[in-house]
Amino acid sequence: QPLFEAEFSEILLCKNELHETLNNLSHWMKDEHVHKNLVTRLDSAFIRKDPYGVVLIIAPWNYPIHLLLVPLIGAIAAGNCVVIKPSEITKNSETLVAEVLPGYLDNDCFAVVTAGVQETTRLLENKFDYIFFTGTSCSPSVGRIVMTAAAKHLTPVTLELGGKNPCYVSDTCDVQNVARRVAWGRFFNAGQTCIAPDYVLCSAAMQENLLPALHKAITDFYGPNPRESPDFGRIMGDKQFQRVQALLRSGRVVIGGQTDAEERYIAPTVLVDLQPSDPIMQEEIFGPILPIVIVANVDEAIDFINSRERPLVVYAFSSDDKVVNQVLERTSSGGFCGNDTLMHVTLTSLPFGGIGNSGLGKYHGKFTFDTFTHHRGCLHRNMGLEALNALRYPPYSQQKLGIIRVASEVKRKDACTLL
């Protein structure tokens, strides 16, 4: 990972979440007093923020610190004990987390477990009170395994999974801006980002405009030979490298396409002339390759998106707000960003999570605290004032029922109110 990218995603964004939490914790923890009806007017009615207990956080390899730390911040803030399972693939980060983190936290309440696939399966046999799982490109299947294991203990889960994030580019846009923003999102961390734009949908005319613009953006970013740029990452491990490299045999390479197995380098690449049946359109790419799929218009783009699994994010670029809103309105996804990529997840006030195969649950900011909090509905009544309860006791009567109805009913507000 280039230093700048690591500093931004693994340090800065984490510190933001940390400060946001510290700044607001006392407020988030407080009992939330709620509206009362006539019957409970004199009582105390509130939502108590209880921790779940002992929670498990499983993190992936692509942002090994961030994707472990941000859930951990919320879990601790909510008062839980935590078992942390960092990715076994990023060996140095795993070692760092396992050896250094315990030096900072209370070892009675927080533990790091280093485990491969087999041991993680054993770990999941235990009863946890919440499981927070973030997976990478093969994640829907692993997500199923985690949720099935959780089901045995009725353990609530958050699953942050993946998918193919479509990026629709309309004919009315600033092509160079679009090219820069899409290239940034696609090639950040050499494409190994769960919310990266996975493929572009646009007209044939727009593709013709986009290609030189993408070429320019890539050259502006990484120079004429990206392999020599200190700002472009590498693929994580040989297995991933081989997998991503194989996807190059889809359509036609128009930008990039060079690879180097020894360095696990895959050039920032753009592919055209793709068929929906091509290998690259069958799985989340999770690498620095951007396929462009031609559609006639926005309706066809929307149909294309809706006939596939719901992704973690849908992107839409248009100078016309109505077009962006159409795509938002007529599709379903974890999150959405108009006229940019990745940026929606840097706002701690927006919930971040998937839907369908891309996941369930949400976090970031207060949503992480809420994820790891059991919202306990509480009513504290008076030991006396028994007369107030008389109406509800048997022997029953129509008269009693009538009074109860009047005392406790919620009426429909005036239907003529301007909504």
Q: H/E element holding 73?
A: helix 66-77
Distance (Å, whole) CA 325 – CA 330: 8
Choice between 178 and 255, CB closer to a copy of itself: 178
Q: How far is the CB of 89 from a copy of itself (least distance, A)?
A: 23
Q: Facing residues of 271 across strands?
A: 253, 291
Q: Is 234 in the site for a copy of itself (CB under 8 A)?
A: no
Closest CA to 357 of 166, 164, 158, 163: 163
Closest CA to 55 of 367, 351, 373, 352: 373
Interface region with a copy of itself, contact rule CB under 8 A, candidates 60-68, 102-110, 227-235, 258-266: 227-235
Q: Is 166 in the site for a copy of itself (CB under 8 A)?
A: no
Q: Is 256 in the site for a copy of itself (CB under 8 A)?
A: no
| Choice from 345, 368, 371, 372 touching a copy of itself (CB under 8 A) | 345
Q: Is 257 in the site for a copy of itself (CB under 8 A)?
A: no
Letter string b/e over residues 161-180, b meaning 16 or more CB atoms within 10 A of that residue's CB: bbbbbbbbbbbebebbebbb
Q: How far is the CB of 251 from a copy of itself (least distance, A)?
A: 26
| Choice from 143, 162, 166, 287 touching a copy of itself (CB under 8 A) | 143
Q: How far is the CB of 351 from a copy of itself (least distance, A)?
A: 5
Q: Is 404 in the site for a copy of itself (CB under 8 A)?
A: yes
Q: Is 191 helix (H, G, I), strand (E, B) or coil?
A: helix
Distance (Å, whole) CA 177 – CA 340: 9
- Report whether 72 contacts 21 (CB < 8 A): no
Q: Is 140 in the site for a copy of itself (CB under 8 A)?
A: yes
Distance (Å, whole) CA 208 – CA 171: 11
Q: Is 259 in the site for a copy of itself (CB under 8 A)?
A: no
Choice between 15 and 91, CB closer to a copy of itself: 15
Q: Is 299 in the site for a copy of itself (CB under 8 A)?
A: no
Distance (Å, whole) CA 110 – CA 77: 13
Based on the residue annotation, tell me whether 160 is a catalytic residue of this protein.
Answer: yes
Q: Is 94 in the site for a copy of itself (CB under 8 A)?
A: no
Closest CA to 203 of 280, 282, 300: 300
Amino acid (1-letter code) at residue 398: Q
Interface region with a copy of itself, contact rule CB under 8 A, candidates 60-68, 91-99, 112-120, 357-365: 357-365
Q: How far is the CB of 76 from a copy of itself (least distance, A)?
A: 16
List the alpha helices (DSSP H) in 272-409: 298-306, 321-330, 366-371, 398-408
Q: Is 265 in the site for a copy of itself (CB under 8 A)?
A: no
Q: Is 160 in the site for a copy of itself (CB under 8 A)?
A: no
- Report whether 246 contacts 208 (CB < 8 A): no
Q: Is 419 in the site for a copy of itself (CB under 8 A)?
A: yes
Q: How far is the CB of 118 from a copy of itself (least distance, A)?
A: 20
Q: Is 395 in the site for a copy of itself (CB under 8 A)?
A: yes
| Choice from 102, 212, 257, 338 touching a copy of itself (CB under 8 A) | 338
How many of the chain's residues bind a copy of itself (CB under 8 A)?
121
Q: Is 337 in the site for a copy of itself (CB under 8 A)?
A: yes
Cβ neighbours for 131, distance < 8 A, ≥ 6 positions apart: 55, 56, 58, 124, 146, 150, 155, 156, 157, 158
Catalytically annotated residue among 194, 202, 284, 337: 194
| Choice from 261, 276, 375, 403 touching a copy of itself (CB under 8 A) | 375
Percent of the chain as helix, strand, coil, to the nearest 5: 40, 20, 40
Cite the active site residues: 160, 194
